[in-house]
Amino acid sequence: MELEAKIPKGPLPEKWDRHRFELKLVNPANKRKFDIIVVGTGLAGGSASAALAELGYNVKTFCIQDSPRRAHSIAAQGGINAAKNYTNEGDSIWRLFYDTVKGGDFRAREANVYRLAQISNAIIDHCTAQGVPFAREYGGLLANRSFGGAQVARTFYARGQTGQQLLLGAYSAMMRQVAAGRVRMFPRREMLDLVVVDGRARGIVVRSLLTGEMETHLGHAVVLATGGYGNVYFLSTNAMSSNVTAAFRCYKRGAFFANPCFTQIHPTCIPVHGTYQSKLTLMSESLRNDGRVWVPLQAGDRRRPGDIPESERDYYLERRYPSFGNLVPRDVASRAAKAMCDAGKGVGETGLAVYLDFKDAIARDGRAVIEKKYGNLFQMYEKITGEDPYETPMMIYPAVHYTMGGLWVDYNLMSTVDGLFVLGEANFSDHGANRLGASALMQGLADGYFIIPYTIGGYLATASLESLSETHPAVQEAKAASVQRIHALLSVNGRRTVDDFHRELGRIMWDYCGMSRNNSGLEKARERIRILRGEFWENVKVPEGNETLNQSLERAGRVADFLEFAELMIIDALARQESCGGHFNEAYQTPDNEALRDDAQFCHVAAWEYQGDDREPAFHKEPLVFENVALAQRSYK
């Protein structure tokens, strides 16, 4: 199968306009005849539900949580980028585009990223109109701060709760449509399968998490916005229910999975401190605006931070990257921290941490200013660690945070299954091999508010979709398969708990497919994953039954999919014999240990096609063509 990205012709800045003109429109009166299924209520799914309903479509929306407002997007802290250039530093759509492509280590599609930068400003306008309380200057105009990977301040924020406020904006827009009767909300539902009829996505199978009932919902198109799969590592900054199940089930129904090995390890998280730990907490990257990262110069220096004099500290980011300093992109900062800890300079009980110090910033701006900017983050840090970051430097360490990989989509955000659109973190589209801070929120909202409303129309206007009933064999087959799977999970009745398996899988992935990778480790991981998967299906213990709220059963289904999906990540990592962005293969590095790309062989998107449970997935290549930016070795020096 040929991967057709459907990138419009013409000069980069004109592509999107031209494409919107060329897309067929659905007659306004006909829109209400189309039922659209949206899975996920994060920024991507929430905004899509609202925007599609505003246009008059009939929308059915699903989420796992008890309310759409609790989707994982709520946890985003730092901010959202836009090319407004309010700070007069010379920002522009082009610069945002360029920074994002470069930040992604030249593994994203130019046209998509450019469109994202173009739309960014409209997002800020729309969210402001919705009542998102962005930070403001005394004059009443919007404030900006800087984020990693950029030399201009273009990030809009609402304290340290930007994701929450943007999501509440999308949520309220959606609730307005619920009131109008155009969105029907189905919370506490988990999508377990995609219904494909005649090659087209026509519906989903969901399990009601309260009653265990298996439901099918049919429509004319399915919009998947189910977020990222960072929880394959067990410990990550993702919410507990974040999963790959929905995306992976679509993969099994024919949607290609792109670049699954591209995961982002965020440099500023609270270090791990015990085996019981259930998740990791991010300390927003915005902290690197004012905090300085350092370790003791001497390996094994066990003195308290306050006792280490200036001359015996190594501000290694400032030293190694004088022009970006503490604001280098995430992958660079994370690897640098790992390198320091590997060299024995790590601090804290485990030696797996570096300092993030605010002493100078507090001395310069005063405590009040710092408190205003980061108050809630400092408070959160203190709650978790019991230490006061105003007094003693924070300790941070990298943690899994975001997944750039996802279902492959074309320029219209449609996957390789017709009628299945994929939005937000669940798709692979815009961030290449590394995502810059404050650009996931931008992408989720761009996809939902400003792209899908047009491109779905283009699909619906041209596809001829027959009416479909629940009794169609494809519907019944998908439903039966899901029922069967639940039954299988419940009937193993072994001795190990679901979390036990998940924790072990996470350990394997972190050790061998984490911040740095090598071929033999990856091979080993693959073998161990297979064994673990085998044991899972023989020895997992899932208590209680199907007909009740059964949280262990929910987790079991997700972990079962992670166990299969993890292998796909490894396959992808092995296939990509280069280093780029978040994928760092130790065999490919520059003399000063930066990622070394191989553009001749790997300047492409790797898209994987499911071939059956016991067969290798098929590899498909979408070459990346750079007509507007020169492929360069990333340098933040």
- Alpha carbons 595 and 335: distance in angstroms, whole number: 10
- 440 binding partner (options ligand FAD, another protein, none; Cβ < 5 to 8 Å by kind): ligand FAD
Binding residues for ligand FAD restricted to 408-467, rule: CB under 6 A: 424-426, 437-441, 444
Give dist(CA 490, CA 501) in Å, integer: 15
Rounded least distance, CB 615 to another protein, Å: 34
Which candidate, 23, 110, 13, 99, places its Cα nearest to that of 452? 23
Q: How far apart are CA 144 and CA 156, in angstroms?
A: 5
* 85 binds ligand FAD per the rule CB under 6 A: no
Alpha helices in 56-107 (DSSP H): 93-103
- Please confirm, yes or no, whether 249 is among the known catalytic residues: no
403: exposed, middle or buried (C-beta count within 10 Å: 0-12, 13-18, 19+)? Answer: buried
**Of 525-544, which residues contact another protein (CB under 8 A)?**
541, 543-544
Select from 25-33, 41-49, 323-331, 461-469 the region that touches ligand FAD (CB under 6 A): 41-49
| Contact flag: residue 225 with ligand FAD (CB under 6 A) | yes
What minimum distance in Å lies between the beta carbon of 173 and ligand FAD? 14
Shortest separation between residue 221's beta carbon and another protein, angstroms? 18
- How many whole angstroms separate alpha carbon 395 and alpha carbon 387? 10
Residues 277, 4: Cα–Cα separation, whole Å: 44
Q: Write out the binding residues for another protein, residues 114-133 only, by CB under 8 A.
A: 122, 124-126, 128-131, 133
Site for ligand FAD in 191-210 (CB under 6 A): 191
Give the other-Cβ count within 10 Å of 420's Cβ: 26
* Min separation Cβ 55 and ligand FAD, Å: 19
Distance between CA atoms of 576 and 574, rounded to whole angstroms? 5
Choosing from 15, 401, 517, 634, the residue that interacts with ligand FAD (CB under 6 A) is: 401
DSSP string, 514-565: SSSB-HHHHHHHHHHHHHHHHHHHHHEE--S-SSS--HHHHHHHHHHHHHHH
Select from 15-23, 167-175, 426-434, 458-466 the region that touches another protein (CB under 8 A).
Answer: 167-175
Candidate residues 350, 518, 546, 552; the one interacting with another protein per rule CB under 8 A: 552
43 binds ligand FAD (CB under 6 A): yes
489 binds ligand FAD (CB under 6 A): no
Q: Evaluate the CA torsion angle 369, 169, 20, 39 in order and state its sign.
A: positive
CB nearer to ligand FAD: pick between 39 and 603: 39
Q: Of another protein, ligand FAD, none, which one does residue 138 interact with (CB within 5 to 8 Å by kind)? A: another protein
383: contact with another protein by CB under 8 A: yes
Looking at residues 455 to 474 of the shown chain, list those that interact with another protein (rule: CB under 8 A).
none
The DSSP H or E segment spanning 294 is strand 292-296
| Tokens encoding 476 | 């019944």
116 counts as binding ligand FAD under rule CB under 6 A: no
Tokens encoding 263? 């995961």
Q: Cα(61)–Cα(255) distance, rounded to whole angstroms?
A: 21
**Segment near another protein (CB under 8 A); pick from 6-14, 276-284, 309-317, 628-636:** 276-284
Residues that bind ligand FAD (CB under 6 A): 39-45, 62-65, 71-73, 75-80, 162-163, 189-191, 225-228, 237-238, 242-243, 245-246, 282, 284, 401-402, 424-426, 437-441, 444
Residues designated catalytic: 330
